[in-house]
Structures are given as C-alpha cells and as structure tokens.
Amino acid sequence: MQVKGNKYGTHRVIEPKGVLTQAARKIDNSTDVKYSNEIVVDVSSLNIDSASFTQIEKECGGDVEKIGKRIIEIVEDRGKMQNPVTGSGGMFIGTVSFIGEDLEGKCGLKVGDKIASLVSLSLTPLKIHKIKKIHPEIDRVEVEATAILFESGIYAVLPDDMPETLALAALDVAGAPAQAARLVGSGDTVMVLGAAGKSGILVCYEAFKRVGPTGRVVGVVRNEASAEKLRKLGVVHEAVIASATQPVEVLEKAIAANDGKEFDISFNCVNVENTEMSSILPVRDRGTVYFFSMATSFTKAALGAEGVGKDVDMIIGNGYAKGHAQITLNELRENAEIRKLFEKMYS
C-alpha cells in the first residue's frame, strides 16, 4: 500500500518540525514506506557543490579517505548531503527504480530512465551505501546510494548524445547560464568573476552571444593559465588576472579592461568566501549583480553595497530557471571547443 506524502516533502522532516526539507537539520532518508507521490532513484554519482567540496577538502587537509568519511558523516547525520558550514549540497545522477502511483504517466519518466536531479542535495533525502571513488579535481563522488525526489522536484532525463558525466557537469550549474540568457542584452558590458570555472565559462559564452558587437565581456581569473583558456575558447573580449577576494584590485583591473567604464552586469561564479565587494564595486549605479556562488554572504553583500554607496540590484543565484537544462546542454552542442574542454575535464 502506498501513502500520500506532502508535495514539498515535509513528511520527511524529522527536525525541526514545520520547515521545508532544505531548512531542516535532519530528514528521513528511508525507503521503508512507499509514498505515492515520490520517485526513488538508484544513485551512481554525486556532484558536490563547488563551495561545499572546497570547504570539506580544506577541512580534511586534502586527504581523499577523510573526505569520503566526512561526506558519509554528514549524510548519516542529516539524511541528506548538506554541508553544515556552507549550507549547500550539489546534485546527482542515477536510475529511476520506483515511481509512486500518483506520478505514473504524469512525470515523464519510467522505471529504468537515467536522470540528473535539478534540485539541490541540500533538500534531497539521500542514503549512501558505499563510496566507490572520489574525484577531487571535479568535485565528483562515485557512489552506490539511494535518493528520493518529491512531487515538486525537478530533473532531466540524460541526453543520449553525450556522456552521462559530461551532462552532469553541465547540468550542475545550469541555473547560471540560463540566468545570463535572461539578464544580458545587446550592448551590455559584463564582468564574470571565476570566469574559467565550470559555471563561469558557460556564463561567459552565453553573455558573449547576447551582448553583440557593441557589448563587452570581461572575465576575471586567478592566473595566466585560466586567462589563456578563456582566450582560446573565444568567450570573452578580455581576461584579467586578479584575486576575487581583493575588491580594489578587481575594480581597477576590470574597469581598465572595460575602457575605464563601470559594468552593466556582473556575475559571481567563484567558490570561495569574501568576494561580494569584488562583484559590486565595478558595477554602475542601477546595474545588476548576480551571485551564483554558494559562498556568498547576504550580510556582506547588502551592508557592503550600502557602505560604498552603490545603488545596484543584487540577485541571489537561483539554480532553477525554466528551460535551464535545455539551454545549458545546447551550449555544449553549439560550441565544440567548450564541449571538448568539458569532456577533457569532467567526463
């Protein structure tokens, strides 16, 4: 017999009661009860959020075995992969093993479909049976695990024209390029912090398409190798080298690369703390600052902008935008060089 659960998964909340699963400290990750509006997935791989993995890696001194133990500790304690320091999670890929009767024929899935979750692991019931391998260079963990998607959950069936791991890498950051497609217009000047990372490259590519011949995209990166990568990909008009944690350095170098003018829009795609002001300072009054980084502090951004008299619109990065999966996968189909790079780095 199947039981009806809450659309948003609140029946899974253990503590504190009355909150959604993302805000909960602990949730129920068991599959003993079959819920009529849930989907159960056999998980093969986790893509840990970059800010989260970086924090865990530092905490464990880069020791892969300790990283694995820490991930298991978090999941066993919380019933989900939500880093207690960063609050962020990641996403998974896996094979559908159960579809509740209320969702059969309505969810676009069938048992055996391979999917990628498009909701955060920070709210997803997860039980890890075994960690098979950890890939620190790409924040990926191969596992034998079980995850649960709620009725409100979103997901994408993995495409058949690219490897699973490639699709996972792109879908992990699908919200960023989709938001770039919305926010960037013809003639805009755009600055991207963390431009050589996974989300940064896709944002640069999407912005470069949108600004047209009168706009400009400047990527801010931490070293010459990353700058050269962007130049070869042809997704920026100029790449500058500066530390994202040094706002005055970023301000001076980025504006110099933009003909001495402030930017219309900036995108923060880094995975470290204390980069809020580097995103805000180079942007003109009434411009837009988009924080995709999960290491962003609302307090630092809000008070920092106020402190320097910047009247900018600040947007919290939403990992979901309608059509974001298709937009992001299409970018890999459109640009052979980006696809080649992602295949080399993430497949």
> pLDDT tens digits for 228-266?
999 999 999 999 999 999 999 999 999 999 999 999 999
Is the same domain home to 86 and 225? Answer: no
Is the same domain home to 137 and 233? Answer: no
Is the same domain home to 113 and 179? Answer: no
Across the range 83-98, mean pLDDT stands at: 95
> pLDDT tens digits for 162-173?
998 899 888 988
> pLDDT tens digits for 272-298?
899 999 999 999 999 999 999 888 999
Domain encompassing residue 211: 175-346
Q: Is residue 165 part of a domain?
A: no
Domain of 273, CATH number, reads 3.40.50.720
Is the same domain home to 76 and 24? Answer: yes
Q: What's the domain count of the chain? A: 2
Under DSSP, the state recorded for 109 is -
Q: What is the pLDDT of residue 213?
A: 95
Q: Single out the residue in 131, 158, 185 at which a domain terminates.
A: 158
Q: Is the pLDDT of residue 23 over 80?
A: yes
Q: How far apart are CA 243 and CA 232, in angstroms?
A: 21
Q: Is residue 5 part of a domain?
A: no
Place of tokens 């990750």: 29
Mean pLDDT of the chain: 95
Q: Is residue 168 part of a domain?
A: no
Q: Is the pLDDT of residue 122 over 90?
A: yes
Q: What is the pLDDT of residue 75?
A: 98
Phi then psi for residue 161, to 5 deg, are -105, 15
Is the same domain home to 15 and 153? Answer: yes
Q: Of the candidates 331, 85, 313, which has an alpha carbon nearest to the alpha carbon of residue 203? A: 331
User: How does residue 220 score in pLDDT terms, banded at 50, 70 and 90?
Assistant: very high
Q: Is residue 114 part of a domain?
A: yes
Q: Is residue 169 part of a domain?
A: no
CA 81 to each of CA 33, 70, 73, 148: distance values in angstroms, whole numbers, following the listed order: 21, 10, 9, 12
Is the same domain home to 137 and 257? Answer: no
Q: What is the pLDDT of residue 322?
A: 86
Q: Which residues lie across from 13 on neighbouring strands?
A: 27
Is the same domain home to 334 and 192? Answer: yes
The per-residue DSSP string of 201-219 comes to HHHHHHHHHHHGGG-EEEE
Is the same domain home to 193 and 342? Answer: yes
Is the same domain home to 128 and 55? Answer: yes
Q: How far apart are CA 201 and CA 169, in angstroms?
A: 12
Q: How far apart are CA 303 and CA 293, in angstroms?
A: 18
Q: Is the pLDDT of residue 321 over 90?
A: no
Is the same domain home to 25 and 117? Answer: yes
Is the same domain home to 58 and 16? Answer: yes
Helices 164-171 and 336-346 cross at an angle (nearest 10°) of 100
Q: Is residue 144 part of a domain?
A: yes
Q: Which two tokens stand for residue 40?
A: 């159960």
Is the same domain home to 64 and 213? Answer: no
Longest dimension (CA), the chain: 67
Q: Single out the residue in 158, 184, 216 at which a domain terminates.
A: 158
Q: Is residue 138 part of a domain?
A: yes
226 CB-side CA count, 13 A:
20
Q: Is residue 4 part of a domain?
A: no
Q: Single out the residue in 124, 158, 192 at which a domain terminates.
A: 158
Full-model pTM: 0.82
Range of 69-73, 271-275, 313-317 with top mean pLDDT = 69-73
Q: What is the pLDDT of residue 80?
A: 98
Q: How far apart are CA 296 and CA 138, in angstroms?
A: 21
Which residues are within 8 A (CB) of 336 and not within 5 positions of it... i.e. 6 or more apart?
none
